Amino acid sequence: MKKLLNIGFSVLFSGLIFISCEDDDYQTVQSVEKIRIDSVKIMQDTMDVYSIQSIKTYSTYSSQCEGFYGYDYIHNSDVERSVTAYKYTTDGPCTQGTHVRANQINFSPRQTGKYTFKFWNGNSSWITKTIVVE
């Protein structure tokens, strides 16, 4: 029994050493910056108050070390929104080559009206979409 217990502790100790020596696959974020929104997909241009609709945005990234970081979602007025997307860049080894990624915003209006969304498309260009809330 004592020999079995010693073997068990040896295996457990060896496993802990192996795990602690393993390299981390995590990479450090080096920068965060704006990325243009290439296109926007809105499933319904009319919806009800308090319902939820996912608005998808699509952006093009230049390598596997870039990815979606978040949105800057600004309420310009009760019915107007400005949306800017941000990407992160990591310091790890990267596969070069462009790829498109989709991300989404869940929109749940609290009042009726004609909502205007402006999505940053680079420089001073914006993609404008409208949703009517009844």
* CB proximity list for 45: less than 8 A, separation 6 or greater: 130, 131, 132
CATH class of 29-133: mainly beta
4 pLDDT above the threshold of 70: no
Q: Which residue has the higher pLDDT, 22 or 130?
A: 130
- Confidence band, pLDDT 50/70/90 cuts, at residue 32: very high
Place of tokens 């009042």: 111
pTM of the model: 0.78
> Residue 20's pLDDT is what?
45
Torsional class of 97: left (φ above 0), alpha (ψ -120 to 50), beta (otherwise): left
The structural domains of the chain, with segments of one domain joined by +, span: 29-133
* CB proximity list for 71: less than 8 A, separation 6 or greater: 83, 84, 85, 86, 103, 105
> Residue 25's pLDDT is what?
60
